[in-house]
């Protein structure tokens, strides 16, 4: 069989394609109002179309598209998190404290349910427990990063297909989060009549009082915002290196990913500027613009570079497992997240965010939340709480939960192997 030709795109052409995908998504949203109605972001729409084209080219044996994107994608990811940190005023930090705690517990409970359902359904369908675990919180709440980190443990324990299943499940989760988040948020707003125009005006007045309403951004502040975010990601890297050094010298096993360190650096910059004399509202608005720009590019690049053909190899049993995860997160976010966070507009937007990172990626949370907020109104609280939980706290709790469940799955795997060998001998 003739080897498929690979067409390579370097970092710059990948960036260009990501921008073109956003433009194309905007174009499609104008042509098909239903996309805007159900809050599907331009980066998701355009990126998905491109990913499907890439899939068709691969399946037809024409060419396989290959992208150099990881370095520049991480750059935009970190800038976005730094900007999210810089959006957290002291007033917002105080207001969001209780919700952060509740949300953190909900995220941990969801991760536990994800693994429990994976093992239970896997048992009924006679799937290796280590394989069924690769459809739980490892690829869902954890995303591609956790899939790459934890799947080798399952491989070493005797499940050679674990890595492929985990990556495919993470890809499935990413696509699902992009597609479901916006419509889910739209449903909550409509179902509970949260689009009230009077509420809208009230919230917008509050936003204006806090200094992040409709502000005209000028060139000096926009340039300064870019410079500050560059400083923030540099500080974030130094924090990461410092924590790694402490980890190596003390044996401390908990390490913070680079994007979380950048978020902390952004919070520090915001606290410094809040103490400085003068009105910094225009600067803060400029930082928001830089963050939104970075997020759009990150999401677009993440989607256009997906290898959708990895999903085609999933068997019926694994498809059932993944569908069960989708049902779980919809039910969980509707009946628990939305209600326990206040059953108001902020709670609806945060429920959208929970669906996003509960299916694998904080940027999915943010871009689907943005799509909902652009249609209705902005939620400052949601855009502070969700990155803190999805980008930081849930990473820590999920890692602990995964470790415990993997140990349990290993013991179940030994039993499963025993039964499997027994059936083979009988056959």
Each residue's pLDDT tens digit, 281-333: 899 999 989 998 998 898 889 889 888 886 766 678 888 999 999 999 999 99
Return the pLDDT at 360: 73
Task: Band the pLDDT of 213: cuts 50, 70, 90.
Answer: very low
pLDDT of residue 391 exceeding 90: no
Backbone phi, then psi, for 64, in 5-degree steps? -110, 125
Return the pLDDT at 254: 58
Mean pLDDT of 371-391: 86
Return the pLDDT at 40: 85
Return the pLDDT at 208: 40
Task: Band the pLDDT of 54: cuts 50, 70, 90.
Answer: very high
Give the global pTM. 0.80
Return the pLDDT at 255: 61
Mean pLDDT of 94-106: 86
64 burial type by CB count under 10 A (0-12 exposed, 13-18 middle, 19+ buried): middle
Return the pLDDT at 148: 74
Structure token digits, residue 305: 């570079």
Return the pLDDT at 210: 41
Return the pLDDT at 314: 64
- What is the pLDDT of the chain when averaged over all its residues? 86
Domain ranges of the chain: 72-426
Return the pLDDT at 313: 61
Rounded CA separation 423/412 (Å): 17
Rounded CA separation 296/292 (Å): 6
Return the pLDDT at 14: 95
Nearest to residue 133, comparing CAs of 156, 115, 113?
115
Mean pLDDT of 39-64: 90
Mean pLDDT of 329-346: 96
Return the pLDDT at 207: 42
Return the pLDDT at 427: 52
Mean pLDDT of 369-392: 86
Q: Which residue has the higher pLDDT, 146 or 26?
A: 26
Task: Band the pLDDT of 212: cuts 50, 70, 90.
Answer: very low
């Amino acid at each position: 069989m003739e080897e498929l030709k690979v067409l390579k795109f370097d970092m710059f052409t990948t960036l260009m394609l990501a921008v073109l995908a956003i433009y194309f998504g905007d174009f499609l949203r104008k042509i098909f109002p239903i996309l805007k109605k159900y809050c599907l972001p331009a980066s998701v729409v355009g990126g998905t179309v491109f990913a499907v084209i890439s899939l068709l080219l691969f399946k037809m044996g024409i060419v396989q598209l290959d992208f150099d994107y990881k370095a520049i994608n991480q750059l935009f990811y970190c800038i976005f998190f730094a900007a999210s940190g810089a959006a957290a005023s002291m007033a917002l930090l105080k207001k969001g404290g209780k919700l952060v705690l509740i949300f953190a517990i909900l995220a941990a409970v969801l991760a536990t349910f994800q693994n429990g359902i994976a093992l239970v359904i896997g048992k009924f369908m006679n799937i290796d427990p280590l394989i069924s675990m690769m459809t739980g919180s490892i690829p869902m709440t954890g995303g591609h990063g956790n899939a790459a980190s934890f799947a080798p443990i399952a491989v070493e324990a005797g499940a050679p297909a674990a890595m492929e299943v985990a990556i495919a499940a993470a890809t499935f989760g990413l696509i699902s989060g992009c597609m479901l988040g916006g419509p889910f948020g739209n449903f909550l707003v409509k179902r509970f009549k949260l689009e009230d125009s009077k509420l809208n005006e009230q919230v917008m007045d509050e936003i204006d009082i806090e200094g992040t309403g409709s502000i005209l951004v000028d060139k000096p502040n926009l340039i300064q915002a870019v410079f500050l975010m560059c400083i923030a990601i540099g500080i974030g890297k130094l924090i990461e290196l410092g924590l790694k050094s402490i980890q190596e010298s003390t044996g401390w096993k908990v390490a913070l990913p680079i994007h979380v360190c950048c978020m902390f650096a952004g919070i520090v910059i915001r606290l410094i500027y809040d103490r400085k004399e003068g009105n910094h509202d225009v600067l803060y608005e400029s930082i928001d613009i830089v963050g939104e720009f970075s997020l759009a590019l990150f999401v677009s690049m993440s989607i256009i570079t997906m290898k959708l053909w990895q999903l085609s190899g999933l068997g019926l049993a694994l498809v059932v497992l993944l569908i069960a995860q989708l049902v779980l997160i919809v039910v969980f976010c509707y009946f628990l997240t939305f209600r326990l966070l206040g059953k108001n507009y902020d709670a609806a937007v945060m429920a959208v965010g929970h669906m996003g990172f509960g299916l694998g990626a904080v940027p999915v949370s943010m871009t689907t939340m943005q799509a909902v907020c652009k249609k209705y109104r902005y939620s400052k609280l949601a855009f502070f709480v969700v990155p803190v939980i999805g980008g930081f706290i849930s990473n820590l709790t999920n890692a602990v939960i995964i470790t415990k469940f993997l140990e349990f799955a290993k013991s179940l795997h030994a039993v499963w192997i025993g039964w499997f060998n027994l059936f083979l001998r009988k056959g």
